[in-house]
């Protein structure tokens, strides 16, 4: 039976002040302007009010970032000096983690245990990128003739960083780290649901010595603030994590100004479970992959494709595991799953429960608002599992973005790969098997930018992250992400002293170019 913890005591129900934008190294007083309310999904209570930035506000933020990019205080730093500053930011963030844990849990509803485990690793993103900045070398290229040819890598300029509600600080920082280490500057637009930790981090970094204008924050929704930022002619790179349709619109706007792009978009992660894998371990990974973050991750284990010999037992045990998950107050130490971000998102999950039933799938766990939490104001929903799901069904094909997973049987390895690839998405996939050769073989055949074998949702600063197909373009994390913050300039120097006159018809010119 699903267990529930009651709302947190008053001491943990913090209320943040009215918050403005963060531009040019300082918080902008919101003054008499209309504000958006920020809701804690664990209680439904208002915890803060923030500005919705206008196109004029975005202009000011981009201008601040552009000025900082050209300033001696930032552009004039040597790579080693900048790396030392980025390492200092990591240390300062470490010192403020307790505050950031609590604020993020308050704002997005993830259990404090999850938030603490995730954010504790974020400072190392800055250390890793600082190391890349220290280790960076340009190339000398052998070419035909008496020429010295070498490359220079130059930071691209102002980066627009549009972040989602599910991992507000992690996703902001996985792009802030290479932005700062490369010498770029940024304007961040956090989700309109979860701006509080990003605003606070900007204050913390400014106090630590990050020059004004290097890190600006504009708050607001996608229709006004996000659009103004994405289409702004002053940005040279757009980094966005969000839904596929949001990425398509923002990407088209940025492309009109020839800004480069890194887009991490939707997903419908397949998990292929072969019958040589331990059943209990497969179920434990399934529950983790499907229900961590209340399923609100682009790599949620959304489609479990299970070999038929294990299928019935897997369904039974996963349903029991889902029913045993403790749902409730995100601040309670025994809570295992918190709410989804909003009433709108909860209704989307409930709509897919209805769709799954209408399509003929078998609901084996969840599918309801927990009765014990129905009146507390938070946006809770039970972990939900459907079995006997066919690949043509909407619940198999469409991203739900909640604690919702489906189970489908397969017979052969070829069947498993075909079913796994039957999706418009290709962000991540997972394989459960003890057969090493099969693990590598199937990993090669699955259309996904990230494949985990006998694990799920594992992230490392050095490992590239990004998708195929409608799951986006470009990569985050790793050297691949760092390199994408630079333009490459080729310099060719003629070191010979041979006379040259192309238009001297008597001279023998061996080549035109």
The residues assigned a catalytic role are 264, 298
Task: Give the separation between CA 195 and CA 197, rounded to whole angstroms.
Answer: 6
| 267 within 8 A of 425, measured Cβ to Cβ | yes
DSSP string over 145-178: SSEEEEEEEEE--EEEEE--SSSHHHHHHHHHHH
Q: Which of 9, 109, 3 is nearest to 346 (CA)?
A: 109
The set of residues, in sequence order, having a beta carbon less than 8 Å from that of 149 and lying 6+ positions away, is: 140, 141, 142, 143, 490, 491, 492, 493
Task: Give the separation between CA 470 and CA 451, rounded to whole angstroms.
Answer: 17
Compute φ and ψ for 412, nearest 5 degrees.
-120, 165
| 68 within 8 A of 213, measured Cβ to Cβ | yes
Q: Which residue reads 């996963």 in tokens?
A: 318
Q: Which residue reads 């887009």 in tokens?
A: 263
Angle, CA 74 vertex, CA 149 and CA 92 arms, to 5°: 120
Q: Which of 237, 210, 238 is nearest to 90 (CA)?
A: 210
Percent helix, strand and coil across the chain, each to the nearest 5 = 40, 20, 40
Task: Give the separation between CA 251 and CA 306, rounded to whole angstroms.
Answer: 36
Task: Give the separation between CA 237 and CA 160, rounded to whole angstroms.
Answer: 6
Compute φ and ψ for 153, nearest 5 degrees.
-105, 125
Buried b (16+ CB within 10 A) or exposed e, 108-127: bbbbbbbbbebbeebbbbbb
What HEC string does 464-501 produce?
Answer: CECCEECCEECCECHHHHHHCCEEEEEEEEECCCCCCC
Token pair of 49 as six digits: 């009010």
Compute φ and ψ for 187, nearest 5 degrees.
-125, 120
Strand 428-432 to 450-453 pairing? parallel
Q: Which of 462, 464, 460, 486 is nearest to 473 (CA)?
A: 464
| 45 within 8 A of 39, measured Cβ to Cβ | yes
Torsion angle (degrees, nearest 10) of CA 470, 474, 476, 478? 130
| 391 within 8 A of 419, measured Cβ to Cβ | yes
Q: Which residue reads 């294990």 in tokens?
A: 310
Angle, CA 254 vertex, CA 250 and CA 259 arms, to 5°: 140
């Amino acid at each position: 039976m699903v267990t529930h913890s009651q709302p947190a005591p008053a001491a943990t129900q913090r209320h943040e002040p009215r918050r403005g934008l963060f531009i040019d190294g300082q918080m902008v007083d919101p003054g008499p302007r209309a504000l958006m309310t920020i809701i804690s999904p664990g209680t439904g209570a208002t915890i803060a009010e923030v500005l919705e930035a206008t196109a004029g506000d975005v202009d000011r933020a981009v201008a601040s970032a552009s000025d900082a990019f050209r300033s001696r205080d930032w552009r004039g730093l040597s790579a080693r000096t900048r790396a030392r500053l980025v390492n200092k930011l990591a240390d300062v963030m470490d010192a403020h983690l307790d505050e950031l844990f609590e604020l993020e849990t308050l704002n997005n509803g993830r259990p404090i245990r999850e938030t603490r485990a995730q954010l504790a690793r974020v400072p190392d993103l800055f250390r890793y990128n600082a190391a890349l900045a220290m280790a960076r070398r340009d190339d000398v290229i052998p070419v035909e003739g008496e020429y010295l040819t070498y490359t220079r890598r130059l930071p691209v300029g102002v980066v627009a960083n549009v972040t989602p509600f599910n991992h507000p600080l992690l996703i902001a920082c996985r792009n802030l780290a290479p932005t700062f280490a490369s010498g770029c500057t940024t304007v961040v637009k956090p989700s309109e649901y979860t701006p509080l930790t990003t605003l606070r981090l900007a204050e913390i970094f400014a106090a630590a010595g990050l020059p004004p204008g290097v890190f600006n924050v504009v708050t607001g929704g996608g229709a006004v603030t996000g659009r103004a930022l994405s289409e702004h002619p002053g940005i040279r790179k757009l980094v966005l994590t969000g839904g596929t349709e949001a990425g398509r619109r923002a990407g088209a706007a940025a492309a009109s100004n020839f800004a480069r792009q890194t887009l991490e978009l939707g997903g419908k992660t397949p998990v292929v479970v072969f019958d040589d894998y331990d059943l209990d371990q497969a179920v434990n990974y399934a529950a983790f992959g499907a229900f961590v973050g209340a399923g609100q991750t682009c790599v949620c284990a959304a489609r479990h494709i299970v070999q038929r010999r294990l299928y019935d037992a897997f369904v039974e045990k996963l349903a029991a595991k889902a029913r045993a998950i403790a749902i409730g107050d995100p601040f309670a130490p025994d809570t295992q799953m918190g709410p989804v971000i909003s009433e709108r998102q909860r209704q989307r999950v409930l709509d897919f429960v209805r769709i799954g039933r209408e399509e003929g799938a078998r609901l084996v766990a969840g599918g309801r608002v927990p009765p014990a939490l129905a009146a507390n104001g938070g946006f809770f929903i039970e972990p939900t599992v459907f079995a006997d799901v066919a690949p043509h069904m909407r619940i198999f094909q469409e991203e739900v973005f909640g604690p919702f997973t489906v189970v489908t049987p397969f017979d052969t390895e070829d069947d498993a790969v075909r079913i796994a690839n039957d999706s418009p998405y290709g962000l991540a996939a997972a394989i459960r098997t003890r057969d090493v050769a099969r693990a590598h073989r199937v990993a090669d055949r699955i259309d996904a930018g990230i494949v985990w074998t006998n694990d799920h949702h594992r992230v490392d600063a050095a490992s590239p992250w990004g998708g195929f197909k409608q799951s986006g373009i470009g990569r985050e994390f790793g050297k691949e992400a760092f390199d994408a913050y630079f333009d490459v300039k080729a310099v060719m120097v003629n070191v010979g002293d041979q006379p040259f006159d192309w238009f001297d018809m008597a001279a023998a010119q061996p080549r035109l170019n």
